[in-house]
Amino acid sequence: PVLPRLVVFDLDHTLWPFQCDRLPKDEVPYLYPQARGILNALKDRGIEIAIASRASRKKGVAKAFLEKLGIHFLFGAQEIFYTWSPKSEHFQSLRRKTGVPYKYMLFFDDEIRNILATRKLGVSCVLVEKGITLDKLRTGLSTCYAKSSASPNAEPAEC
């Protein structure tokens, strides 16, 4: 199977079912049910994982949640912007930091505008309406496989 070299996740409504800066202070953050297993499975297979997310109001909340959830160390690159810049800017930074070309990246996000903007760069993208699931992961991996099969001269790991 053709696997991506870098899998990138949005945070709010993709890994967890809320906006982190709007969760009441007394409420403990939590992930979607299949998120932790997916992150661990990718890491176990040697696939780099990263974050491309926007946090609208409170700086540091998203990173604090990642630490509270015990998953902060799984992500090599963490592009958490505190401005409403397009996700394409997150990916330009990810490419610089990781050295992974766009065509080897797979991205999961809950907003269609982010999917469309990022797809223009050549990134394989999957819209997740109710958080990351094994089915959505399979969809993303199938997209990578179909993309590499469509171009016979593609390098083996292109997705």
**Which sequence positions are flagged as catalytic?**
10, 12
Instruction: Rounding to the nearest 10 degrees, give the CA dihedral for residues 138, 142, 145, 148.
Output: -130
CA distances in angstroms from 86 to 50, 52, 132, listed in the order given: 17, 10, 21
Residue 62, number of CB atoms within 10 A of its CB: 25
Question: CA-CA distance, 20 to 30, in Å (whole number)?
Answer: 10
